[in-house]
Amino acid sequence: MARKTAVDRLNAAMPAAAMTAESLAAERARIGTILDHAEDLRLPGQAMTDYVYLIERVRRWYTSAYLGGVVTPFLSPAFVSASFALDAAQKRRWALHHGLLDRFRPEWSGVPFVSGARTGRSTATAVWDGDGVQAVSDLLDTTGGPLTASVRPAAVRDALAECVAGAPPARRQAALLEQFAYLAVATHTLRPDAVRATPPATYTKLSTPPKPVPAAVRAAVRRLRSVRRSRPARRAWSAIRRRLR
């Protein structure tokens, strides 16, 4: 159960349908390697999930992973080792964190821990706001290489089509557009050899209204529908179904 929970939660940032089968399998295998190591350490149940969270937090979410010379006492080996000795109730009340602060920073002892998730909806500009849809569409056309190869272009195009239509993307599609934009910008910066010189065309296709159906075609469709609803047509379909059965 702990293994499935870890894999599902760590893959939740990107819709599984938007990832290529190869990249999804590679990510599951990578997380599986971490879980195998946790089992080798004989970490039981919830402790295994805590271990995976600890390993992945710095790489994925912790801002100190991108800075040099930053002291992170809560990530020191002694603190991490001690945290695995706590039970669930002690973890919920931040017993070790408060204990460390009470000892070394007593002036902070009354300051509560808060989560960024409780500060309300972000007011940061989304990648699809303003001319963002066109910018991401152009990235889709011009960006190649191994980074964006993990994302299915059709899924990005479908999310962009909804934005062009004026509908805000759903949470999973919003995450898809953000992740693709990060990977594409990184490719343009770090792998310029993977940038294609082809002129962008996706945004023009998405923003161009469809051509109206000619009146003659609409009339022909109406005639076909009337023929299908006629009594001889219904008898013919009934005969075909009986033969098939």
Task: Write out pLDDT tens, residues 103-152.
Answer: 888 898 878 776 655 566 767 788 888 889 999 999 999 999 999 998 99
Q: For position 48, what pLDDT does the model report?
A: 81
DSSP letter string over the chain?
-HHHHHHHHHTTTS-GGGB-HHHHHHHHHHHHHHHHHHHHTT--HHHHHHHHHHHHHHHHT-GGGG-SS---GGGSHHHHHHHTTS-HHHHHTTHHHHHHHHHH-GGGTTPPP--GGGS-S--SPPTTTTTHHHHHHHHHHHB-HHHHTTB-HHHHHHHHHHHHTTPPPPHHHHHHHHHHHHHHHHHHHH-GGGB--SPP-HHHHHHSPPPPPPHHHHHHHHHHHHHHTSHHHHHHHHHHHHHH-
pLDDT tens track for 158-187: 999 999 888 778 888 888 999 899 999 999
Average pLDDT over residues 60-72: 71
- Calpha distance 22→166 (Å, rounded): 33
What residue type is assigned to position 6 of the chain? A
**Longest Cα separation, the chain:** 90
Q: For position 29, what pLDDT does the model report?
A: 87
Residue 112, sorted as left (phi over 0), alpha (psi -120 to 50) or beta, turns out to be beta
* Alpha-carbon distance values, 179 to 13, 108, 174 (Å): 9, 37, 9
